Structure 1
Amino acid sequence: MRATFQIDNPGDVEMVLTVKMKLSDWVALQKQLPSEYPSWKLTAAISEMTMHAKQVFTPSKAVDT
């Protein structure tokens, strides 16, 4: 058997990218990304991710009452 593989519309192929970085690197990347499409979608995702990470991993402070 012989077969060939061809992608007719490569711009329509969905791809997944997994990136592992320190929280501080994510924040730095977010600041560098432009605010145009499609970068703004990535910026929004990074913003949400870093916000949740900071809530979990930032030490809380005791409040005197």
Structure 2
Amino acid sequence: MRVTVRNHNDVTRALHIVARLAPRQAWLVHLSHEIDNWLLDNALPENVSVPFDGQQIAVGLRDAVTV
């Protein structure tokens, strides 16, 4: 029986959403540790990053989004 973990992002789905929204910069967070292996075989678009644990990202007020 295969169990799907629902509390982590699916990279392919996230990249599809990023492509549709076309932001200047996107950060993929709350990913499984398997992302490291995935990144060995796959490249992210230039405007997409995977921040490291504890990394702080400064955004301007102009870029603020309420979710």
Q: Same fold (TM over 0.5)?
A: no
Q: Which has the higher contact order (CA 8 A, sep 6+)?
A: 2
The two structures have a TM-score, normalised by structure 2, of 0.23
Determine which structure has more spread, i.e. the larger CA radius of gyration: 1
The two structures have a TM-score, normalised by structure 1, of 0.23
Structure showing the higher helix proportion among its residues: 1
